[in-house]
Amino acid sequence: MTELFDRHRAVLPDWLALYYQDPIEITHGEGRHVWDAEGNRYLDFFGGILTTMTAHALPEVTKAVSEQAGRIIHSSTLYLNRPMVELAERVAGLSGIPDARVFFTTSGTEANDTALMLATAYRGSNQILAMRNSYHGRSFSTVSVTGNRSWSPTSLSPLQTLYVHGGVRDRGPYAGLTDERFTEACVADLEDLLGHVRTPAALIAEPVQGVGGFTAPPDGLYAAFREVLDRHGVLWISDEVQTGWGRTGEHFWGWQAHGENGPPDILTFAKGIGNGMSIGGVVARPEIMNCLDANSISTFGGSPVTMAAGLANLSYLLEHDLQGNARRVGGLLIERLRAIGARADSVRQVRGRGLMIGIELTRPGTTEAAPETAAAVLEAAREGGLLIGKGGGHHTSVLRIAPPLSLTVAEAEEGAEILELALRSA
Ligand SMILES: Cc1ncc(COP(=O)(O)O)c(C=O)c1O
């Protein structure tokens, strides 16, 4: 791979990071497996960053894409687009937001950028509340609500962002509290903050932080926030780019772990819905979605080919109850990984739900992050035939496990065995 790696380095930006000392070129996939250009086969526990949601080369999606591509690839939003209307209807119905309107984009970044524009226009304010350790995308507006310095290349911002507590349960000043006290402390912090600032437009939050290392507050925290936000007229944007479509097993959306006070005002999605085709989107109540008084389009957003992929992928997910599979197989996998973690002194915590599992590594006997161990485990897992991800704030010390949602019990078992050996060797 050195030749392609050299060419990559010569022509692409330095900040476009690659995994592995000797990066791999993935040439094809099937089900939960991928192959590299040298013919090595890997069990895929990362799905191209939680994006291959159902399976690699899923025949239903491939067929829908090729049939649509054979009819028409692009027409633009100036003309009626049947697959776009159909997918919007399905997403609106699933969103939990009453009388929902859907706008399709090409990425999660663009979806969050749209959500921020809607919220700031609707509320007439450029103040945004965001969570520490968050990630919401790579554009100028989304970087400025990203509370993770290794993913924030600039502090310049079109927004005034205020970071609140709550996204990280087991680090920071409230880590030692019980769940109930933790929630109370975060709510008190939010309430206090809102007493000091003008009129924030919205709070944006990932129900489970993805890049941040699959960290989450206790269930119900965002419902408790909601009660405070409502009193101040502040909107709640749930960034479901990683948590959507049943990945967390127990819920179809991450916000449903915090649903006592109703759905969010705005929901954003991307990644898994297209199974690799570029679909992002934003869902909102009509008065919020329709508050813009100028035209706005995304030329490629909602393109017929991507929508056909999304429809086929979503149908497959629902018809095969992959949310239930994520709950069942993810439940077994997390138990297995907890048992492995208990025997490995570099594992501080195994956390997550469904098929969104984080293994936090530290220097043995301390709470100090161990990024070099995480990198070594990644390498060793790859040697053993398993692809996983990593993340976790600027320390990058959390292994991230998020396979396609069709993972079988046997594959979960096989992956866990490889990981155990990788942890031991690293
Ligand atoms: C929670 C979350 N929001 C937004 C984004 C940005 O999505 P994209 O990379 O499609 O622009 C990501 C990407 O990792 C994400 O994890």
- With the most atoms of ligand 1 within 8 angstroms of its CB, the residue from 50, 135, 150, 248 to mutate is 135
Q: Considering the domain 3-57+322-425 in this protein, what is its CATH number?
A: 3.90.1150.10
- Ranges 1-5, 90-94, 201-205: which has the least confidence: 1-5
pLDDT at 1: 63
- Atom of ligand 1 at shortest range from CA of 271: 10
pLDDT at 235: 98
DSSP single-letter state for residue 255: G
β-pairing verdict for 235-239 and 266-269: parallel
The residues, ordered by sequence, that sit 6+ positions from 174 with a Cβ below 8 Å of its Cβ are: 165, 181, 182, 185, 186
Give residue 124's pLDDT band: very low, low, confident or very high (50, 70, 90): very high
CATH class of residue range 61-320: alpha beta
Give residue 157's pLDDT band: very low, low, confident or very high (50, 70, 90): very high
- Atom of ligand 1 at shortest range from CA of 240: 1
pLDDT at 6: 97
Q: What is the pLDDT of residues 60-79, one digit of tens each?
A: 999 999 999 999 999 999 99
Domain boundaries, the chain: 3-57+322-425, 61-320
Q: Give the pocket of ligand 1 (CB within 6 Å).
A: 49, 107-109, 112, 135-138, 206, 210-211, 239, 241-242, 270, 280
Mean pLDDT over 385-399 rounds to 91
Mean pLDDT over 207-229 rounds to 98
Q: What is the mean pLDDT of the chain?
A: 97
pTM: 0.98
Burial (CB count within 10 angstroms: exposed 0-12, middle 13-18, buried 19+), residue 172: middle
The residues, ordered by sequence, that sit 6+ positions from 334 with a Cβ below 8 Å of its Cβ are: 350, 352, 353, 357
β-pairing verdict for 280-284 and 101-105: antiparallel
Q: What is the distance in angstroms between the CA of the first residue and the CA of the last residue of the chain?
A: 24
Q: Is the pLDDT of residue 393 over 90?
A: no
Give residue 289's pLDDT band: very low, low, confident or very high (50, 70, 90): very high
pLDDT at 3: 94
336, 354, 408 from 412: Cα distances, Å: 9, 12, 6
Element (H, E) at 44: strand 41-44
Say how far residue 324 (Cα) sits from the centre of its chain.
Answer: 19
